[in-house]
């Protein structure tokens, strides 16, 4: 596809369950980012991939959060033992990389609700 896609668009889960969110970046974009937006907040950086490696995991809020990227393309963000404070919109973005100032293109997000 032409843009960044994410699935599912909405996810409702019970507290304590694990969830997996998927991001399919723009073809050829080497840099991939995960952000989240909690209610009434700005976007918060979670993790950055360059190719398949994650040189920066500094934004992950706890060790319940992990992410991987395979084949330099699709990425999954996994949240284990979900808590109510994990409820947010999780956004993925990709960037060409290599250059210095390429803008990031965002997907539509996954709205996660933890009951």
Partner 1 sequence: DQQVKQNSPSLSVQEGRISILNCDYTNSMFDYFLWYKKYPAEGPTFLISISSIKDKNEDGRFTVFLNKSAKHLSLHIVPSQPGDSAVYFCAASAWDTGRRALTFGSGTRLQVQP
Q: List residues near partner 1 by CB under 8 A.
A: 4, 31, 33, 35, 40-45, 48, 50, 55-56, 59, 91, 93, 95, 100-109
Q: Which of residues 69 and 95 has its CB atom nearest to partner 1 in the complex?
A: 95
CA–CA gap between residue 106 and residue 91 (Å, rounded): 7
Q: Which residues pair with 92 in a beta bridge?
A: 34
Distance CA 94, CA 106 (A): 7
Q: How far is the CB of 115 from partner 1 (least distance, A)?
A: 20
**Least Cβ distance, residue 62 to partner 1 (angstroms):** 19
CB of residue 107 to partner 1, shortest distance in Å: 5
> How far apart (Å, rounded) are the C-alpha atoms in residues 73 and 53?
11
The alpha carbons of the chain give a radius of gyration, in whole angstroms, of: 13
Q: Which is nearer to partner 1, 14 or 101 (CB)?
A: 101
Half-sphere exposure of 14 (CA within 13 A, CB side): 0
For partner 1, the closer of residues 107 and 114 by Cβ is 107
């Amino acid at each position: 596809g032409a843009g960044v896609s994410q699935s599912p668009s909405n996810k409702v889960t019970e507290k304590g369950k694990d969830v997996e969110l998927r991001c399919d970046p723009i073809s050829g974009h080497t840099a991939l980012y995960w952000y989240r937006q909690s209610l009434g907040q700005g976007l918060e950086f979670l993790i950055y991939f360059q190719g398949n490696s994650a040189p920066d995991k500094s934004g992950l809020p706890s060790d319940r959060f992990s992410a991987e990227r395979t084949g330099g393309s699709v990425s999954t963000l996994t949240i284990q033992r979900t808590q109510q404070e994990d409820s947010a919109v999780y956004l993925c973005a990709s960037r060409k990389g290599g250059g210095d100032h390429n803008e990031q293109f965002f997907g539509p997000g996954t709205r996660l609700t933890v009951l």
